[in-house]
Structure 1
Amino acid sequence: METMQDANGDIAGMEPFEPWYTAQVVGATKDGDVIKYELKTKKLDESNKEVNVIREYEDFQWLEHCLVTNNDVSGLILPPLPPKPGVSASGAEAKSKKQLGSGSKALIGDEFHKDCRGLEKYLQLVLKHELLGKEESLGKFLVDKEAPMRTKLKKNILSNLSKAVGEARKGNHKDIDDTFQKERDNCNDKLTLTKEASDNFNKMVYIQLRLEGAYSHLSTMLNLGGGVLEGPSASANNMLVKFSHALDDYKHGITVFSANDENTLGFTLDLYARYQESEKEMLYRRTCKMIDLETATKNLEKAKPQKRDAAEDVKKDAEAAFDKISDVAKKEIVKYHRERVLAFQKALILYAEAKVKTARDTYALLARDLKKLKEMDSGDSAADDPQTSPVVYTPSKPF
């Protein structure tokens, strides 16, 4: 795709766009079966006006619908909207068993902070987009106190099935442009690999959560066994209690490892697994335009004299539509690859930094616990040295 950018690596013909707003999803509350998100928006003009609004997930869906229907997005790689979070008790139970194991009776609480971050990232991607960032419905979504009136979006199972069949048939249609054919092949490979990487990374995080639960259980049992601190077994019981404290410190380290993994590399893998699907959909739309052009060309060749002018007009329209989507797609692909590489670079750096910092903090806590255990033989009472506990690493700017 080198021919799609200039010598400076910029996208040819695309003016730099400065977002008109900044948006943060600062919190979420549950009202029955509905999750309400609080948005903090700042308009980037002379006024610098800030406003807080409340939105539901369906409002985000309606915004996405408006962005798609009000603009020609056929050649765009659209920012992916995160899936709707579950709110039912059965959903929470299934999620807990998936993460903590089928035998676990513990339930994972609401994780609204993850939903907020995903929706905030979606808004940031839309806001900085050269076309979508100028959409009027986006401004109303961000600053109007009342949520926009929305029509319930229907999900047609038959249309989804026919679309899947069409993708399977047209997706294998050879492209007339070798560059786009290569991009389609690479996109399919990346989609599979990114999804697998995201799923396997999540499995690793889930194993850490199960390990955390096991250490917590063991620490509790040791505390129960070391509850009697008098008599001939006092020394052994005291050692059990001290050891349980060490297990608690290590359990805390595992908790922070898991949270940091999700906040850094896990977040980016999940985002770009969905983003890769968005690129695939864009390439499919272009393939459909290409097939339309090929069909129009064949019809023109077979057209009778009295229908030739009409067939030629159809071919010209199909050619114009195909050329337009191809030009836009070239710019979008260059921009997408550049942002994807930068995002993974940043995620890997943050992931490594968080790993190193958490490991050092956990080591310091365990070294202190070991010191206390050794000093028990000499009868010394070790004072609790102030130590920095591992902390959850939250990037200042979501990537």
Structure 2
Amino acid sequence: MMDASELVFQNDQPLPMRSTLLPTFSVSVMDKTEKVGEKTYFFISVQKLLYGDLQDESEIRRSIEDFRSLDRRIRVEISENMPGIIAPRLSNRETTLTEDIPDNHARFMGKYASERIILQRYLITVLAHPYIGQHKLTSDFLTSPESSVVNYKFSLGRRMTGAFEDLWGSSYTDPDPYFEERKQKMAAYSGTVTEFANAFSLQNINKKNLSSTLALLSHSLESNGHPKDSLLKLWNIAAEVIKQEEYGWHLAYWNGELTLGTFLKHHIAQMDSFKDMMQRRTSLLQELDNAKKTSEKAKPPKKEAAHLALAKAEEAVQRSTVTGKQEIHRLKEAETKGFRQALIDYAESQMKAAQETYEVLLEQIRRIHEWEPAFPDEDDTSIPTSDSNSSL
């Protein structure tokens, strides 16, 4: 049956990038992993392109920790030094809905299928970013033989400062109506998306639970009785029908997780990145307000330094305004296209799986209709022996 990951990897390819003197990359997270100690490594096929022509092709391996390190470095080393930028963010939401229910059909999907798609979406988003996609951090991640994990440790003072900034920013009104309007809309939208994602996960997990229940039912219907007993034969046919329905529901669960489920996790992470950008902008506006007050109160000996600090703060806010508007437009376009494609993938995968399940069940019905059991005479208590009358 249709594995939804085939649709996702087919449709989730990087867009053609503009001609540049710097190389660009095309990547694919492969259905291949390696376990080393406690770490699971994912293998990535990397193509280096120049003006659209293939220059080099390689295969690298990276762990989840490597991806998280890249995510942190982009957000700390790039985002915090570029006002207005909305950096791609790696989803930290769980990619496996249930761990306690055995996955009897993982062989059809490939192990770590949802993790592969989450990582694939993240890399595609990073590479599609006009600045981060060509940054040295990105190229090093894709070309170095081994990736170095960098951990950032934030002091208690910095964490407390961040908490106060979050509280202050939530009630701060942006002087630019464009940003204030989008901040208010995002607050409502992100809540709606999160509720939808949670509801989608719940109904999706119910499909897997139903699949597991049907698996138990089909097992209970299987009989070890005489293979030519007519009634027992029907029970075995019923078990086959239930087993097929069980597989159909399990496939519906996985298709939902691999298409719309993984996109929603990715989408929520990008909304969080938007909030990060707005919080950094709020901090810059606060610094500008403080710089204005300092400049107004500065005594002649400190007047020049205060004016320079004010000019620097004004420049930072201006860059945040110009870049932020460009980034919001870029993010909205990218996420709208991504959501549209995820819905298409979800519908196509479920439709094809349902069609295949329907055809198999139709064949089972045909077999039952064509089978005519032979019943012994009332005085004959022996087991029927005619193969022609007691077998399908």
TM-score band (shorter)? 0.7 to 0.9
Deviations 1:233-257 (A, max 9, x none): x221111100000011111111211
Q: CA deviation at 1:111?
A: 4.5
Q: Is the 8 A contact 2:372 2:389 kept in 1?
A: no
Larger Rg: 2
**Cα distance, 1:299 vs structure 2:** 2.1
Q: Provide the rounded CA distance (Å) in 2 between the counterparts of 1:129 and 1:383.
A: 63
Deviation of 1:58 after TM superposition, in Å, equals 2.6
Structure 1: 5+ residue runs without aligned partners? 1-14, 87-91, 101-105, 385-399
Return the letter of the residue paired with 1:327: V
Residues 8-19 of structure 1 mapped to structure 2, 5 A cutoff: 16=18
Any conservation in 1 of the 2:252–2:350 contact (CA below 8 Å)? yes
Q: Is 1:34 paired with 2:39?
A: yes
**CA shift at 1:148, angstroms?**
4.1
Q: Deviations over 1:37-94 (max 9, x none)?
A: 21211111355311112222232233334434553333111111233979xxxxx9x9
Letter in 2 for 1:269: L
Tell me, which stretches of 5 or more residues in structure 2 are unaligned? 1-16, 375-387
Q: Of the candidates 26, 29, 34, which is equivalent to residue 25 of structure 1? A: 29
- Confirm or deny that 1:96 pairs with 2:91: no
Deviations 1:272-324 (A, max 9, x none): 01111110111111111111112211222222333322222111110000000
Residues 318 and 41 of structure 1, relative CA distance in 2, 3 Å threshold = same
Structure-2 change in CA distance of 1:381 and 1:328 (3 Å): farther
Partner of residue 132, structure 2: 132
TM-score, length of structure 1 as denominator length: 0.80
* Residue 95 (structure 1) shift: 4.4
Q: Does the 8 Å contact 2:122/2:266 carry over to 1?
A: no
Equivalent runs, 1:365-380 vs 2, <5 Å: 365-377=360-372
Question: 1:374: Cα distance to partner?
Answer: 2.6
Q: How does 1:197-346 map to 2 (within 5 A)?
A: 197-223=196-222, 226-229=223-226, 234-346=229-341
Change (3 A) 1:353 1:107: closer
Please identify, of 326-335 and 19-28, the stretch whose mean Cα deviation from structure 2 is larger: 19-28
**Match of 2:49, as an amino acid?**
L
Give the 3-state SS of the residue equivalent to 2:99 in structure 1: helix
One-letter code aligned to 2:114: K
Q: CA RMSD in A?
A: 2.8
CA pair 60-194 structure 1, distance change in 2 beyond 3 A: same
Match of 2:92 in 1: 83
Taking a change above 3 Å as real, the CA distance of residues 381 and 261 of structure 1, as seen in their structure-2 partners, is: farther
The size of the alignment, in residue pairs, is: 352
**What letter corresponds to residue 35 of structure 2 in structure 1?**
K
Question: Equivalent pairs: percent with the same residue?
Answer: 23
Map 1:154-165 to 2 at 5 A. Answer: 154=153, 159-165=158-164
Conserved 8 A contact 1:170-1:287: yes
Match of 2:70 among 48, 60, 63: 63
Q: Displacement of 1:158 after TM fit?
A: 6.1
Q: Which amino acid aligns with 2:123?
A: L
Q: Which moved more, 1:313-322 or 1:261-270?
A: 261-270
**Aligned equivalents of 1:318, 1:205: Cα separation in 2:** 49
CA distance change for structure 1 residues 83 and 158 in 2, over 3 Å: closer, same or farther?
farther
8 Å Cα contact 2:33-2:40 kept in structure 1:
yes
For 1:378 and 1:139, locate their aligned partners in 2 and report how far apart those are by CA, in whole Å.
69
TM-score by length of 2: 0.81
Which amino acid in structure 2 is aligned with residue 77 of structure 1? I
Alpha-carbon separation, structure 1, partners of 2:156 and 2:368? 64
**Equivalent residue for 2:3?**
none
2:4 aligned partner: none
Structure 1 contact 229–235 (Cα < 8 Å) conserved:
no
Describe the shift of the 1:277–1:323 C-alpha distance in structure 2 as closer, same or farther (beyond 3 A). Answer: same
Verify the 8 A CA contact 1:23 1:39 in the aligned structure 2: yes
For residues 301 and 382 of structure 1, the distance between their equivalents in structure 2, rounded to whole angstroms, comes to: 100
